[in-house]
Each structure stands twice: as C-alpha cells, then as structure tokens.
Amino acid sequence: MRLTLEQLNAAPQDEFTALLDGTYEHSPWIAREAWRRRPFASPAALKRAMTESVRAAGRDAQLALIRAHPELAGKAMVAKALTAESTHEQGAAGLTACTPEEFATLQRLNAEYGAKFGFPFILAVRGPRGLGLTRSAIIAAFERRLANHPDFEFAEALRNIHRIAEIRLDEKLGHVPALGNLVWDWAEELAQHSDPGYAEKGQLTVTYLTDAHRACAARLSAWMREECGFDSVEIDAVGNVVGVYYGTDREARRLLTGSHYDTVRNAGKHDGRLGILVAMACVREMHRRGRRLPFGIEVVAFAEEEGQRYKAVFLGSGALAGRFDPRWLDQKDADGITMGEAMTGAGLRVADIPKLARDASRYLGFVEAHIEQGPVLAGLDLPLGVVTSINGSVRYIVEIAGEASHAGTTPMDRRRDAAAAAAELVLYVERRAAAVPEVVGTVGVLDVPGGSSNVVPGRCRFTLDIRATTDAARDAAADDVRAELARVCARRGVSYSLEETLRQSAAPSDRAWQARWERAVAALGLPVHRMPSGAGHDAMKLHEIMPQAMLFVRGENAGISHNPLESTANDDIQLAVEAFQHLLLHLAEADE
Ligand code: HGY
Ligand code: MN
Ligand code: MN
C-alpha cells in the first residue's frame, strides 16, 4: 500500500510509527521520534527528520541501531530469519546465490569485521543507483572497509543505514528519483570513454583532446541535441560543448551554467560531469513541457579544467572569461605534442579562440552544481550544500638539482641528494598548512626522473598546490614555502628551479545568487548548509567577469573524490536537479 506525505502528516504517532515500520531495521523508535518534527514538506524532509532522530539519539542508541542489522550472507540469511526488507535487499544483490568461495569469503569477513569493530558490516547493497551492487563490488567494499578506523566505520555504518532507509522509504512512498536516475545513467555512459592505458584497467581518465575526450564531446552534443531539445549545440574552438536553450525571446539575456568533462587520472565519474548533466536534465524537462523562460539557458561542458595533459588549467572556462593565454598553445604534453598541435589535430580553429570571450552584459550570471569532493555533507547527513566562497590557489612545479652519485660509495656527509631535499620540503608544506585552519598544502606529484635504486638522486621534480579561503592566507603560506625551499637547498648544496603554473584568486559567491541556491535548498524541505569550497571550480573563472554561486552535492564514501570511489546517490542527484529547477523557475518569476 503506497503511503502519502499527507497521510503521514495527519497520522497520530502510533499510526505514523506503524506506517513506517521496517524503514529502519528493527528500530521503530526512529520514526516515533521523527513524528515530532511533522509536518513534512517533502520526502527529503521526512528522511532528514529521521536522520536527525538518529543523530540526536547518542552513541549507545546508534550502536544498538547498527547491531540491529544482520550480517551480509550471514547466519540470519541462511536461517531465513531476515526481515522482509533485508531478504529482498540481500536477494536482489545476489547474496543468496553466492558461490562457495564467495560465501566462505563473506563468512570470514563477517567474523573479522565483527571481531575488529564489535558490530556488523553495513552496506546499502542496493547501491547509489538503487539497482543493487554486484557480489564482487560488495566483497571489495567489505575488504576495503575492514582496514578503516573504528570511528570511521561507525559513521560509515550509520550513513549506509540512512541510505538503506532512504531506499525503503522511497518504495513506501512510491517516490522514484527519475531525474537522479537519468543523470546517474548519463554519467555511467559518459564514463565508458577513457584514455588508453587507463581504459584497459577499468579506470576513468579523460585528458584534453584525446580520443576519449572527443568521444565525450560527441556524446554530450548528441544528448543535448537529441534528448534535451537544446536549440543550438556546438563544439567551440577549445572543445567546449555549448548548448543553448532560448528564452521566450531568442535575444534575451542568458543564465550561464555548466562544469567540466575532463577528469584527473583514475578519476571518479561525477567530478565536473554532474554539473553539466544536472543542467541538461533541467533543460530536458522544460523542453518536454514546452516551457520557455524569460531568459535563455546556456549550458557549457568545459573541455579542460584539471590541467592534466597540459600545465594550463581552467582552459575551457578561461576561454569564456577572455583569459585564454596564447602562450599556452606552446605548452607540450608528455609526448612533446603542443597544445596548438593537439587542437589543430582535433579539428579546432585556434584562430577563433579569442572570439569565445563572453560579453558579461549578455548574461544574468553563472551557476554550477558540483559534487562536494569532501566529507562535510556526508558528516552532516545532508544531501546539498551552498557554497559561500571558492578557495584561492597557487600551484608550482619545482625541480631540485643535486648530484647523482653511487649509492654505495658516496659517504652520507658528501651527498647532494635532490630527493632528500624534496622530502624535507614535503614535510614542511604539511606542517605549515596544518598550522593555519584555512590553508591546505599538497605535493601531488613527486618524481626522481631516470632514478635508480643504487644512485643518489641527482634530480627531483615535484608539484606544489597551496590553497586558502583568502588570497592573503594563500600568499603567506606560499611565501613561507618558497623561503623554506631556498633554505633547505642552500643547506644541502643543491639548486632548484620553481615555475608558477597557476594563481587563482579566492572567489566569494555573489550574495544574490547564493541566496537563490539557499532558497532552492530550503524549498526542498532541507536545512541550508553554507560552506566554502576547498576545490577549485570553473565558477571561479567565470567569477572574473560575472556573478556566480555554486551548489554542492554530497558524495558517498565520506565524499572522497579524485578517486574511483567517488560516488553520488540517485536521490541526492534528484535533489540537485530539483534545486536547480527551483532556482530557474523563481528566477523566471522575478523576471516576468
Ligand atoms: O584541483 C581542483 O581543485 C579541481 O578539481 N581542479
Ligand atoms: Mn577535479
Ligand atoms: Mn571539478
């Protein structure tokens, strides 16, 4: 029997609790507590009320909740003593059809996990798309999480319990996150394209203008044209895919939105792409309803943001902001191919790049939906967040030159070891960044070119990535790191070169646009959580010429990103689409 929110909002506490029986395994107290927060404006608000009941219950009640869950393919399943919901879920995930080896592995993991943590391994086996994980994915997650810290696993167990409850509640309400499913499936399909050397390993890497990159552009263009009803779709001179959905007046000003479709190496499937696909889903819905707004919508899939193949970053959004630096064309990739050659080879008209600069007066502003890429929303059990500012960043490539010499015969006090010098600096970066809350510092690439195990490193190349919520904090940290580099090298008698490859100012959200995202999130029945962005985004490039603000979407696996574990649930994507739709419709009402 399908429940309705009206029915639940009107129900007395006992009836409400009974209607929601089974949402949380053997734990009716959660619905009973949540009842006090009625009325619920949306399924998201009801889910939030139940997570808040758990968050407020304290550790003992939370531990009891976790322990109320059965093991995966455990004794209760074998004895057919699972609840109806768990029977359905474990069955749908194939756990009732394990091979003898899988079954033995799961028993071993159950025993080891229970002995280490004192509670069962909890995983929403229906997965982020709700269709069910494979047994191999379940076992891989089990093996991986066995190594986690107990506190992390306690929190991760609760997050998975909320996801299990969310899927169960969706079914009770007949609530299908259809647009979340659409975007999730698009992201899966787009992730089929990956660069050689990664595709064979099942890894996602799409760097600028490779065949996989061009295939992504072609697929995004086709979807915009054939599935979403954009009025014009083109691939511009730097490889951005630009879709325009006209307003009631074709010449009306436009809302600019989008994100990037290139990726880091061995990436997740939603970084960048989510912001493109969420906007496309909104246009698709308007087109299907024959709806036009008083403004146009220009969705841009930016061709390059990560700076993986070439040193230049934010190349796609930079071109629109009129910040494309022609010197970038001479940058060479690892194979010695210049950016200009790669562009020409991809059929792009380099001469047209300056024409890509947008006239900001033709736009209302820029908005971008993006996965959070961090642990904050997951830690708060919130699906969405509103960005207040994007951290400023500065990046360098450093090369230290010492003297290669025999590892066996060179006395320790006679060495000019480039790697040891670099190692000192890596630890200094960590110490200096950790000393100031709003600063982060990373050495992401560390390499001894042509190194050998029996040779004292004569050269060492590494990157520096320093970020902060303000330019002043960023620059103070960068100054200190450069000064330490000079001191370490002088003391060790080695030389160094340092090249700045990126300097991006902090980008505070435009107040009016941030408020539009806040109103949209609140309209979904969710608390509004404001937060800075530690990651850089295309929005910070458009920030240079027009007002901007961003919406963050929670990540699974505690929000990990730039990692194949990056994952976003269909229900959270659905909420991002609904928030975007709310922003569009209220902008239209204000405009009319
Ligand atoms: O590095 C960043 O912050 C972004 O993912 N390019
Ligand atoms: Mn990224
Ligand atoms: Mn990104």
Contact 421, 489 (CB under 8 A): yes
Most ligand 1 atoms within 8 A of CB, residue of 261, 264, 465 to mutate: 264
Buried b (16+ CB within 10 A) or exposed e, 405-442: beeeebeeeebbbbbbbbbbbeebbeebbeeeebbbbb
Report phi then psi at 167, rounded to 5: -65, -40
Contact 253, 299 (CB under 8 A): no
Closest atom of ligand 1 to CA, residue 467: 3
Q: Which two tokens stand for residue 562?
A: 């730039």
Q: Check pocket membership of 535 for ligand 1, CB cut-off 6 A.
A: yes
CB neighbour list of residue 335: distance below 8 Å, 6 or more residues apart: none
Rounded to whole angstroms, how far apart are CA atoms 75 and 58?
28
Contact 301, 217 (CB under 8 A): yes
Q: Which two tokens stand for residue 59?
A: 């550790």
Q: Look at phi and psi of residue 562 and say left if phi exceeds 0, alpha if psi is from -120 to 50, else beta.
A: left
pTM for the structure as a whole:
0.92
Rounded to whole angstroms, how far apart are CA atoms 330 and 141?
44
Distance 568 CA to ligand 2 centre (A): 15
Q: Which two tokens stand for residue 452?
A: 């050998």
Beta strands in 261-413 (DSSP E): 296-302, 363-371, 384-390, 392-401, 405-406
Please report, in angstroms and rounded to a whole number, the separation of the first and last CA atoms in the chain.
42
User: pLDDT tens per residue, the chain (592 residues)?
Assistant: 799 999 999 999 999 999 999 999 999 999 999 999 999 999 999 999 999 999 999 999 999 999 999 998 888 888 888 888 888 888 888 888 889 999 999 999 999 999 999 999 999 999 999 999 999 999 999 999 999 999 999 999 999 999 999 999 999 999 999 999 999 999 999 999 999 999 999 999 999 999 999 999 999 999 999 999 999 999 999 999 999 999 999 999 999 999 999 999 999 999 999 999 999 999 999 999 999 999 999 999 999 999 999 999 999 999 999 999 999 999 999 999 999 999 999 999 999 999 999 999 999 999 999 999 999 999 999 999 999 999 999 999 999 999 999 999 999 999 999 999 999 999 999 999 999 988 999 999 999 999 999 999 999 999 999 999 999 999 999 999 999 999 999 999 999 999 999 999 999 999 999 999 999 999 999 999 999 999 999 999 999 999 999 999 999 999 999 999 999 999 999 999 999 999 999 999 987 6
Q: Check pocket membership of 307 for ligand 1, CB cut-off 6 A.
A: no
Distance 180 CA to ligand 2 centre (A): 21
Residue 497 CA: distances (Å) to CA of 172, 239, 462, 486: 63, 33, 11, 10
Residue identified by tokens 């890497």 is 205
